[in-house]
Amino acid sequence: MVTRDEGIVRAAPQSVYEIVRDVLGWPARLRHYRFVRFQHTDGQGGGVVEMAANRPFGPLNWPTWWLSDMQVDDRRRAIRFRHIGGITTGMEVEWTFGPHPDGTEVRLLHVWNGPRWPLIGSFAASAVIGPVFIHGIASRTLAGLSAAAEGARR
């Protein structure tokens, strides 16, 4: 299962990168995030981070939770998460930020083989979990953090 969310943010790449890198600030910027907390940090902006978000379905919210090993690469302006707990264990996530004439091109990539459920794991990942939950949360996260970066620019 592969999901891609991308967009152009009207702010400098470093500004966008810093807002996304500040995962502890996500719940204040993103209504669908319930909490983000580090279980431990690596001293370079990463570490083991626990996250919880809601996937809205009209007036109802479906709560989700996962645990990730977060790594930041300030030189490349890249942020990677490897899910190590929750239903999405094994998922690889990467945020990248590149210059664009209008500001910053942001790419958010999720790659996963699916849950280890016999017979239906890969189908569940590619037909439901990826397009409905992963993309549903990631697209809201990208839009919200993009708006925060554009608002900070003013």
pLDDT digits (tens, 9 = 90+) for 79-117: 999 999 999 999 999 999 999 999 999 999 999 998 888
* Domain CATH number, residue 115: 3.30.530.20
Instruction: Write out the two tokens for 105.
Output: 């091109």
Count: domains in the chain: 1
Average pLDDT, the chain: 94
Q: Is the pLDDT of residue 154 over 70?
A: no
Residue 117's φ and ψ, nearest 5 degrees, are -100, 125
Read off the pTM. Answer: 0.92
CB within 8 A of 154, min separation 6: which ones?
Answer: none
Q: Is the pLDDT of residue 143 over 80?
A: yes
Q: How far apart are the first and last CA of the chain?
A: 38
| pLDDT value of residue 153 | 58
Full residue range of the structural domain in which residue 86 is found: 2-153
Tens of pLDDT, residues 32-75: 999 999 999 999 999 999 999 999 898 899 999 999 999 999 99
Largest CA distance in the chain: 51
- Separation CA 94–CA 96 (nearest Å): 6
